[in-house]
Structure formats: C-alpha cells, structure tokens
A = this chain, B = another copy of it.
Amino acid sequence: MSHNSYGHLYRVTTWGESHGPAIGCVIDGCPPGIRLDAADIQAALDFRKPGTSKFVTQRREPDTVEILSGVFEDDRTKGQVTTGTPISLLIRNVDQRSKDYADIRDKYRPGHADFTYDAKYGLRDYRGGGRSSARETAARVAAGAVAEKVLAHVAGAVIIRACLVQVGKVTIDRARFDWAETARNPFFCPDPVAAEAFEAAIEKARKAGSSLGAVIEVVAAGVPAGFGAPVYGKLDADLAAAFMSINAVKGVEIGAGMRAAELSGEENADEIRIRKKRPHFLSNNAGGILGGISTGQEIVARFAVKPTSSILTPRRTITAGGEETEITTRGRHDPCVGIRAVPVGAAMMAAVLADHALRHRAQIGDKKAMKSAR
C-alpha cells in the first residue's frame, strides 16, 4: 500500500508540494528497451502547461523535466532507452510567489482541502495548497507520457485522446464532434460551436469573480479485448479510482455512465455482429468494458470537475482557531480548472492501460495477449 502510488505493475509514485523546491515521480516496472528521451515527456508537459491562455492560471512554470534514472544510451542502443529499473523524474518549481498565500494561512478556503488536511495531520503546508495543489498533476502527465510508450511497446497502436464536453451548463453537440477541433481552441473542445460558448461562459465567470465546472471525456482506441480482471481488478474500477483521484473530480462515468440507469434492457446491451470476420458491436453503451474486461471497442470514460474553489467572491468560513470569518481567494487561479484536467485525464487513462497491459501479459502471456486484440 502506498498513499501516493498507483498501478500495480506499471507503478507510479508521485511526490512534491506546490511551493516546495520540486515535484516529481518514480515509475517502476517499465519494460526495458523502450526509447525514452526527456523531450518525449517535455512535449506532454508543455501541452498541459498552465499559463498558455487567459483561461488558465497565470503561474508561469517552465516545467522542465529531468530524467534522473532508469535510462541508458551507448553506441549500441538506438538512442536513449529504458533499462527496466526505476525511472525518476524531477521538475523544479520556479514561479512560486509564496507571499500570495500568506493571508490564507489561518483561514480554511471553502471547497479546498485546507480544513481536512488540518483535521487529519494537525498541520499543513498551506503555500499554494501544498500537496493538494493541482501542481501535482504535472507528475501525472509526465508518467502518462511514459505510459503511452509502454502501451505502444506491449499492446501496439493504442490512441488516447481527451476533450472537454461540458463547461458549466454548456454541452457539446455530439453531431459536431471532431477530434481535430480539440487542437484549434484553448479548451480542447471537439465542437467548434461549443468552444465559442465555452469561451463566453468562462469569460463571464472570470469577470464575475466566479468559476465553472466541466466534464472531460477520455477515449482510448485500439485497446485489445481482454484487458482487466474480475472482480476487484476490473479495468473500469481502476479507471474510476484513477480519475476520481484527480483534483476536484466528483463523478466518473464509463460508457453510458449515470444515464445507464435510464436505458431499457434492449437499449443498453450492445448487440454484436460480425464485420470483416471480426466481432463488431452495434453500439457502445458499455464504454468498451464488460465484466471489468475490455471488449476491443473504444474505451470511453468521462469525469466531472467541480468549479475552481478559489474565487474572488467572498465566502463564509472559519479560522483554524475556530472563529467565523470570510475569505476571498486572490492569487493566480483558473476560472475553469477543468480545462487543465483534459491532458491529466488522458495521462491517467494511459497509466491505467499500461498497467493492465502488463497485468494481462503476466497472466495470459504475450502471444495470446496480442492475438486477442481486435
């Protein structure tokens, strides 16, 4: 057991506080011989990096990653490759501005973990939220970049994509869903019309000193049938934990999700035909997972992120000493923290799938694993 680790065979341990000297992670269990450069991980971090639009926090972190172990290169390897030993990644914190947070030392910010950390530990690193800061997600994204390479190595071409399908009460129109659109707006929105509505809503919230929640959808295509295991090692159970562990997440769905409750038995159970000599499902209410095991269809998951708790509107709260007071959270905050959760969601999907790819290979073996792909 480890409070700050996830995965069983592709195992990631993250560490670090928002305003400590650095954050990072250790990845254990990576197969050997996989090409891995800091640049691969850096690209993923740059994609996630805050400060790239006015819709996300203005904290300016270069997020430069250093690989401290687990890779090797000489004239016989084709570039730098993993060795099978732990990969330690280090990201120094730079733009910390600790003074911004001095006034929240004694007050519990509603919606934040301030009160619960104090209740549990009797003290807390209040600078920028300490360990509870979304800054920790940089380590997730770094580990996800490595996981994608592991997945390609073990399970072949798996494509993981994520997007924003809802901001506040604005949802996308599925008829306009286009993955290519996610690169054309600062919201990772697959619907260009919704993207404009997202912008308007977020701008309005930002100006009002408020904030908005969001729903992120993560889709993995090309996952072989057979990943996952009954009964507590279910692929969807591990995905649910992975997404719920992301800051501010309050709900997780697979396939039809909460709406599955409204379907009839006939609507829900995805029928199967043969197409091109292979099983073909006529719908995907299951989200690519039946009985905790992948079907070979797209794995489809969604999670809801609550609105940023740090808002300019004054809120009633108490002090650590038990006095009633009010608080206004200044500092650099995202009006919609859900935007930044998009690459984090993709990273968690990659990590869970890499773990299950290795678990599947352990129990079933290589050839069978790959043969079961569909």
Return 23 A-B CB contacts under 8 Å, by A number.
A1-B1, A1-B29, A2-B28, A2-B232, A4-B230, A5-B28, A15-B69, A15-B88, A30-B363, A31-B364, A83-B124, A116-B225, A117-B293, A234-B244, A237-B245, A244-B252, A250-B257, A250-B260, A261-B304, A261-B306, A261-B338, A264-B307, A271-B317
- Tell yes or no: A176 within 8 A of B by CB: no
User: Which of B17, B112, B313 has a CB less than 8 Å from the CB of A85?
Assistant: B17
Cβ contact within 8 Å between A250 and B244: no
| Residues on the B chain within 8 Å of A213, using CB | 260-263, 268
Q: Does A43 contact B (CB under 8 A)?
A: no
Q: Are A236 and B244 in contact (CB under 8 A)?
A: yes
Whether A240 pairs with B230 at a CB distance below 8 angstroms is no
A69: contacting residue among B17, B214, B229, CB under 8 A: B17
Is A32 an interface position by the 8 A CB rule?
A: yes
A100-120: contact bitstring with B at CB < 8 Å (1 yes, 0 no)?
Answer: 000001001111110111011
Does A87 sit within 8 A of B, measured CB to CB? yes
Least distance between A58 CB and chain B CB atoms (Å): 17
CA distance A110 to B244 in the complex (A): 28
Chain B residue nearest to A109 (CB atoms) is B269
Q: Which of B22, B238, B261, B323 contacts A274 (CB 8 A)?
A: B323
Q: In the complex this chain forms, how many copies of it are found?
A: 4
Cβ < 8 Å to B, chain A residues 159-197:
166-169
Interface centre among A9, A15, A251 (most CB of B within 10 A): A251
Q: In chain A between 190 and 225, which residues have their CB closer than 8 angstroms to a CB of chain B?
A: 205, 210-215, 225
CB–CB A214/B9 < 8 A? no
Chain A, residues 302-316, CB within 8 Å of chain B (1/0): the string is 101111110101011
Asked whether A156 is an interface residue with its Cβ less than 8 Å from the other chain, the reply is no
Quick one: which of A112-148 are within 8 Å of B by CB? 112-113, 115-117, 119-125, 130-132, 136
Contact of A307 among B233, B265, B270, B316 (CB under 8 A): B265
Residue from the list B3, B250, B277, B316 in contact with A230, Cβ < 8 A: B3
Cα–Cα, bound, A60→B127 (Å): 38
With A15-B70, A372-B119 as contacts: A251 and B244 at CB distance below 8 Å: no
Cβ B251 vs Cβ A363 within 8 A: no
Residues of chain B with a CB closer than 8 A to A26's CB:
4, 13, 15, 26
Contact A119 B15 (CB under 8 A): no
Whether A363 and B115, one on each chain, are in contact in the complex, defined by CB atoms closer than 8 angstroms, is no
* CB < 8 Å neighbour of A363 from B305, B316, B358, B365: B358
Could you say which residues of chain B place their CB within 8 Å of the CB of A231? 3-4, 14, 131, 136, 245
Residues of chain B lying within 8 A (CB to CB) of residue A86: 3-4, 13-16
Also in contact, A304 and B258, with CB within 8 A (given A3-B230, A230-B85, A237-B244): yes
In the complex, A120→B364 CA distance in Å? 8
Set B8, B116, B211, B290: member contacting A1, Cβ < 8 A: B8
- List the B side residues contacting A250 at CB < 8 Å: 236, 253-258, 260, 285-287
